[in-house]
Structure 1
Amino acid sequence: MSVRVHPRARHDEVVGVKDGHLHIRTTVPPTDGKANKAVTRMLADYLKIAPSRLTLLRGDSQRNKQFLIRV
């Protein structure tokens, strides 16, 4: 799943799909992987799955990320 992250936003929200990416805004700054953890939790909540079923494949230090969803 392709995700576009907007760190340091005013509030946390899943915006929706645009340009082939699911856009997620998070208030967490992108330091020490904190934003990645927040986005993983938000994505899991959005998909109604456990966060442990998501794996970040690409984009550890970029705004465009790719997640693997394990069934």
Structure 2
Amino acid sequence: MPVSRCWDRADGGVLLRVRLTPNARRAGISEVVTLDDGVCWLAVSVTAVPEKGKANDALTKLLAKSLKRPRSAIEIARGTTSRMKRIRIEGDPGEIEASLERVIAAT
């Protein structure tokens, strides 16, 4: 089954769409969700609370570990105070896409 793309290629990397659930019981990447507007988002949960950037910090750590990328290559491009975030992942787009497909297939 093909993977629904929740990212777009960008100069020097990929822009990933993430729907974050903070203060969850378990941290992890759960699924790709399609909203009513037809846009796909990667559903990610973290146990950190959404205070003082703790949930955002936990999100970047989780993505770095899951995608086997350096944490310095991952930044929140949009949505620092929203559940809906755009994450910029620096690096070779082909490698990043392969990592995303692997992680999503494992959910």
Residue 36 (1) aligns with residue 36 (2): no
Give the structure with higher Rg (CA): 2
1:15 aligns with 2:35: no
Identity among equivalent positions (%) equals 35
| Residue 3 of structure 1 pairs with residue 23 of structure 2 | no
Unaligned runs of at least 5 residues, structure 2: 1-15, 35-39, 92-107
Q: Deviations over 1:13-45 (max 9, x none)?
A: 110211111111111100000000000011111
Q: Could you say what secondary structure the match of 2:30 adopts? A: strand
The 2-side partners of 1:61 and 1:67 are apart by 13
TM-score with structure 2 setting the length:
0.64
Matched length: 71
User: Hey, which of these two has a bigger chunk of helix by percent?
Assistant: 2
Structure 1 unpaired stretches of 5+: none
